[in-house]
Amino acid sequence: MNCLECRELLQRRLDGESIPAQTVEPHLSQCPDCREQHAAAQQLLDALKHDPTPEPSADFAKKMTSLIVEDRDERHDKLRRRVWLTLALAASVIVGLILAYYWIPRPTATENKPNPTIVDNSKKDIPPAPKLDRPKEAPTRVDVPSPLAKLTDRWVDTTRDHAKVLTAVAPLDAVPLPEFPMNPAVRDAGQEVSDGVRSVMRNARRAFDFFARELPMPDLAGEKN
Amino acid sequence: MSAEDANLVRRCLKGEESAIQALVERFQPDVFGLCVRLLHHRHDAEDVTQEVFLRIFRSLKKWDSTRPLRPWIVSIAINRCRTWMTQRSKLPETADYLQESAASPPTDDGAELVREIRDALVELRWEYRSVFVMYHERGMPYEEIAEAIEKPIGTVKTWLHRARLEILDRLRRRGMISEVEHELP
Ligand SMILES: [Zn+2]
Question: Helix B142-149 and helix B69-90: axis angle, to 10°?
Answer: 60
- Domain ends where: B44, B65, B93? B93
> Would residue B101 count as lying in a domain?
no
> Would residue B152 count as lying in a domain?
yes
- Which CATH number is B28's domain given? 1.10.1740.10
pLDDT for residue B18 is more than 50: yes
Gap between the Cα atoms of B28 and B24, Å rounded:
6
Name the least confident of A132-146, A206-220, B44-58.
A132-146
> Would residue B89 count as lying in a domain?
yes
Gap between the Cα atoms of A39 and B178, Å rounded:
9
Length of chain A: 225
> Would residue B76 count as lying in a domain?
yes
pLDDT for residue B96 is more than 60: no
Q: Note whether A69 contacts B17, CB cutoff 8 Å.
A: yes
Residue B137 and residue B56 share a domain: no
Q: Please compute the mean of the pLDDT values over residues B28-47 and round it to a whole number.
A: 93
Q: Note whether B53 contacts A45, CB cutoff 8 Å.
A: no
Mutate to test the interface with B, among A8, A14, A43 (most CBs of B within 10 A): A43
Residue B140 and residue B67 share a domain: no
pLDDT-derived band at A184 (thresholds 50, 70, 90) equals: confident
Instruction: Please report the pLDDT score of residue B61 as a whole number.
Output: 92
Gap between the Cα atoms of A162 and A142, Å rounded:
26
Into how many domains does chain B fold? 2
Residue B139 and residue B83 share a domain: no
pLDDT-derived band at A64 (thresholds 50, 70, 90) equals: very high
Q: Is A146 on the interface with B (CB under 8 A)?
A: no
Of A31, A10, A28, which is closest to residue A19 (Cα–Cα)?
Answer: A10
Residue B120 and residue B47 share a domain: no
Q: Note whether A11 contacts B46, CB cutoff 8 Å.
A: no
Residue B162 and residue B124 share a domain: yes
- pLDDT, one tens digit per residue, over B111-153 is 888 989 999 999 999 999 999 999 999 999 999 999 999 999 9
Distance B39 CA to ligand 1 centre (A): 35
Q: Note whether A41 contacts B168, CB cutoff 8 Å.
A: yes
Q: Note whether A47 contacts B110, CB cutoff 8 Å.
A: yes
Q: Which residues lie below 8 Å from residue A173, measured CB to CB, with a gap of 6+?
A: none
Where would I find the beta strands (DSSP E) of B26-154?
Answer: none
pLDDT-derived band at B95 (thresholds 50, 70, 90) equals: very low
Query: How far does B32 lie from chain A, in Å, by closest CA?
Result: 7
Residue B148 and residue B62 share a domain: no
pLDDT > 70: percent of chain B: 85
- pLDDT, one tens digit per residue, over A189-219 is 778 777 877 877 787 778 777 767 766 665 5
Gap between the Cα atoms of A95 and A100, Å rounded:
8
Gap between the Cα atoms of A91 and A97, Å rounded:
10
Q: Note whether B117 contacts A44, CB cutoff 8 Å.
A: yes
Contacts of B173 in chain A (CB under 8 A): none
Q: Please compute the mean of the pLDDT values over residues A108-114 and round it to a whole number.
A: 56
Gap between the Cα atoms of B164 and B120, Å rounded:
10
Contacts of A56 in chain B (CB under 8 A): 28, 32, 46, 49
- Which CATH number is B152's domain given? 1.10.10.10
Q: Note whether A43 contacts B177, CB cutoff 8 Å.
A: yes
Gap between the Cα atoms of A9 and A17, Å rounded:
9
pLDDT-derived band at B102 (thresholds 50, 70, 90) equals: very low
Name the least confident of A36-40, A157-161, A194-198, A215-219.
A215-219
Q: Is A25 on the interface with B (CB under 8 A)?
A: yes
Higher-confidence position of B13 and A19: B13
**Where exactly are the structural domains of chain A?**
3-50, 59-104
| Alpha-carbon distance values, A50 to A101, B35, B110 (Å) | 81, 19, 9
- pLDDT, one tens digit per residue, over B62-88 is 999 889 999 999 999 999 999 999 988
- Domain ends where: B93, B116, B148? B93
Gap between the Cα atoms of B19 and A65, Å rounded:
9
Q: Please compute the mean of the pLDDT values over residues B163-171 and round it to a whole number.
A: 94
- Domain ends where: B93, B115, B149? B93
Q: Please compute the mean of the pLDDT values over residues B10-36 and round it to a whole number.
A: 95
Range of the domain at B121: 106-177
Nearest CA in chain A to B21: A65
Nearest CA in chain A to B16: A69
